[in-house]
């Protein structure tokens, strides 16, 4: 699979990592908007003109909303582009299964029924096609976890550790 689809997989993985990093940058921009809102309440530089008073908030929110729209469009393009090789893989698997079934006499050998063959061609090969849609997240999920914990540690300090302990305890309870 890698030899056939290495270019789309590599490009989608790199762009997914960049979008994940961009997601945390957008979170920081939202944090800056909240900070500028707090600062605008603390200092009354322009009490008469509401626009000048909340100018920083409006700029940060406009950057956040515009960047989020662009990020979502790029993510949809990536998932669409990753879906095309997934459909090609699914079609190739269907072809191999049908070629194998054509060589087998169903009357003589009743190990697989027609329902089993249909299940193999439709459901199981479809799972391989669906795997291509989420393949880029194999790389981005660990990055999201690591950067997310780091950002929480920067914001919360040592108060993060009891919260992580509770979270891992609940995860362990749910797992067993």
Q: What angle, rounded to 10 degrees, do the helices at 137-156 and 2-42 form? A: 20
109 band by pLDDT with thresholds 50, 70 and 90? low
Contacts of 36 (CB under 8 A, 6+ apart): 56, 57, 60
pLDDT beyond 80 at 73 = yes
pLDDT beyond 70 at 118 = yes
Question: What integer pLDDT is reported at residue 43 of this predicted model?
Answer: 59
Question: What integer pLDDT is reported at residue 165 of this predicted model?
Answer: 93
pTM over 0.85: no
* Rounded distance between C-alpha atoms, residue 149 and residue 127, angstroms: 32
Give 157 or 100, the one with higher predicted confidence.
Answer: 157
Can you tell me the mean pLDDT for 43-56? 65
Question: What integer pLDDT is reported at residue 61 of this predicted model?
Answer: 80
Question: What integer pLDDT is reported at residue 170 of this predicted model?
Answer: 95
pLDDT tens, position by position, 36-49: 777 766 656 555 66
pLDDT beyond 90 at 116 = no
Say if CB 83 and CB 128 are below 8 A apart: no
Percent of all residues in the chain with a pLDDT value above 90, rounded to a whole number: 8
Say if CB 85 and CB 132 are below 8 A apart: yes
């Amino acid at each position: 699979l890698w030899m056939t689809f290495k270019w789309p997989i590599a490009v989608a993985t790199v762009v997914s990592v960049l979008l994940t990093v961009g997601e945390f940058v957008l979170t920081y921009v939202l944090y800056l908007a909240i900070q500028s809102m707090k600062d605008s309440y603390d200092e009354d530089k322009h009490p008469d003109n509401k626009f000048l008073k909340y100018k920083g908030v409006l700029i940060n929110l406009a950057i956040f909303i515009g960047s989020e729209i662009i990020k979502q469009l790029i993510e949809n393009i990536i998932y669409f582009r990753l879906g095309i090789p997934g459909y090609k893989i699914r079609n190739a698997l269907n072809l191999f299964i049908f070629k194998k079934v054509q060589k087998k006499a169903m009357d003589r050998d009743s190990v697989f029924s027609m329902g089993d063959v249909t299940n193999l061609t439709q459901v199981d090969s479809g799972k391989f096609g669906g795997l291509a849609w989420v393949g880029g997240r194999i790389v981005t999920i660990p990055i999201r976890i690591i950067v997310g914990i780091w950002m929480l540690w920067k914001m919360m300090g040592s108060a993060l550790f009891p919260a992580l302990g509770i979270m891992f305890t609940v995860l362990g309870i749910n797992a067993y």
